Amino acid sequence: MDKGVCEIFEVGPRDGLQNEAREIPVAEKIALVDLLSRAGFSRIEVASFVSPKWVPQMAGSADVLAGIKRADGVRYAALTPNMHGYEDAVAAKADEIAIFASASEGFSQKNINASIEEAFERFAPILEEARHVDIPVRGYVSCVIKCPYDGVIAPAKVAEVADRLFSMGCYEVSLGDTIGAGTPDSIAKMLLAVRDVVPVGRLAGHFHDTNGRAIDNIDASLSMGVRVFDAAVGGLGGCPFAPGAAGNVATETVNAHLTALGYKTGLDQALIEEAATMAQQMRNG
Ligand code: HMG
Ligand code: MG
């Protein structure tokens, strides 16, 4: 049965590789992105312009953006926490950028050394600059269910942060279950609150699979109207500042699941599986 279109936003080269213990050479990252570019994605997050002291794994991001073969119709995205990162991302010709906020104070402090309020003060000039030069900005909300420092997070708090990101100009808000604590029930309750303030067509689900519930949580999100899901080939991923943040849900699993349900993703499963094997080999060296 044809259920319409779902998009997978590939985040493997960023969220997947930012947490790997091995120092992965830039050439390997470029090879992974080039393979992913052939698989049919519209958007791939390939870089992160954060402090190399905080996340040394992402230090070669400008070289990655300079070295990849850019495919027509693919937007290459970069994560930026502040103007410093934004300027580096623009200089490296990222096609779109992502800012990242948290629904919990504890994670915000640990992740970016700033309160939620201070994070928004840093985001305001980014949105203003990006608007002038027509660069799309995506917003993340982390810890939408539970925070490793503050515990359970109220859906109303997630809705408040998502609303702020959307109102200030983010074209899409990706809701991060950073430590994979969600269940179909808690995800549905959270989405009910967020859908009230951000149109569901502008929301994405970003599920880490710590507890093996990411696919169930995608199903819960589908039934609430979400049609964009972040995933990482090979199930790599995690956040260095969120203990318990295991891999992102694997792109190859999500694509097979969505296709079996009758959604069209436009992705080449064989190429994704090839990329998943490559990503897992990169982990081991
Ligand atoms: P800070 O130490 O408070 O920053 O870190 P600062 O402003 O005091 O600057 C300290 C030094 O960092 C200075 O250099 C700055 O120039 C430099 P120094 O004078 O010491 O040589 N600096 C930078 N360098 C490069 N790029 C920059 C940058 N900014 C300042 N953009 C900061 C604050 C935000 C920089 C730091 O905390 C940081 O980089 N945090 C990033 C953490 C991160 O990347 N976490 C993972 C991504 S989030 C995630 O994975 C969740 C997500 O997947 C969704 C989900 O799953 O929930 C998105
Ligand atoms: Mg993540």
Whether 147 is a known active-site residue: answer no
Convert the pLDDT of each residue in 121-168 to its tens digit: 999 999 999 999 999 999 999 999 999 999 999 999 999 999 999 999
Confidence of residue 265 (pLDDT cuts 50, 70, 90): very high
Cβ contact 241:15 at 8 Å: no
Closest atom of ligand 1 to 86 CA is: 31
Q: Please report the pLDDT score of residue 242 as a whole number.
A: 84
Confidence of residue 115 (pLDDT cuts 50, 70, 90): very high
User: Residue 82: which CATH number?
Assistant: 3.20.20.70
Q: Please report the pLDDT score of residue 284 as a whole number.
A: 83
Q: Please report the pLDDT score of residue 208 as a whole number.
A: 96
Q: Please report the pLDDT score of residue 281 as a whole number.
A: 92
Please give all residues whose beta carbon lies within 6 A of any atom in ligand 1, as ranges: 15, 18, 48-51, 54-55, 79, 81-82, 84-85, 100, 111-113, 140, 142, 176, 178, 206, 208, 239, 241
| CA 179 to ligand 2 center in whole angstroms | 8
pTM equals 0.98
Q: Please report the pLDDT score of residue 246 as a whole number.
A: 80
3-state secondary structure the chain: CCCEECEEEECHHHHHCCCCCCCCCHHHHHHHHHHHHCCCCCEEEEEECCCCCCCHHHCCHHHHHHHCCCCCCCEEEEECCCHHHHHHHHHCCCCEEEEEEECCHHHHHHHHCCCHHHHHHHHHHHHHHHHHHCCCEEEEEECCCEECCCEECCHHHHHHHHHHHHHCCCCEEEEEECCCCCCHHHHHHHHHHHHCCCCHHHEEEEEECCCCCHHHHHHHHHHCCCCEEEEEHHHCCCCCCCCCCCCECEHHHHHHHHHHHCEECCCCHHHHHHHHHHHHHHHHC
Cβ contact 6:227 at 8 Å: yes
Residue 38: partners with Cβ closer than 8 Å, 6 or more residues away:
71, 268, 271
Q: Please report the pLDDT score of residue 171 as a whole number.
A: 98
Residue 130 has which token pair?
A: 């990006």
In the numeric block, the tokens 């809701």 are attached to 175
Q: What are the φ/ψ torsions at residue 139 (nearest 5 degrees)?
A: -120, 140
Confidence of residue 185 (pLDDT cuts 50, 70, 90): very high
What is d(CA 265, CA 6) in angstroms, rounded to the nearest whole number?
5
| CA 275 to ligand 1 center in whole angstroms | 28
List the domain range (segments joined by +) for residue 278: 4-284
Convert the pLDDT of each residue in 157-171 to its tens digit: 999 999 999 999 999
Check whether 244 has a pLDDT greater than 90. no
Mean pLDDT of 5-34: 96
CA angle 270, 275, 279 (to 5 degrees): 150
Q: Please report the pLDDT score of residue 277 as a whole number.
A: 95
- pLDDT averaged over every residue in the chain: 97
Domain count, the chain: 1
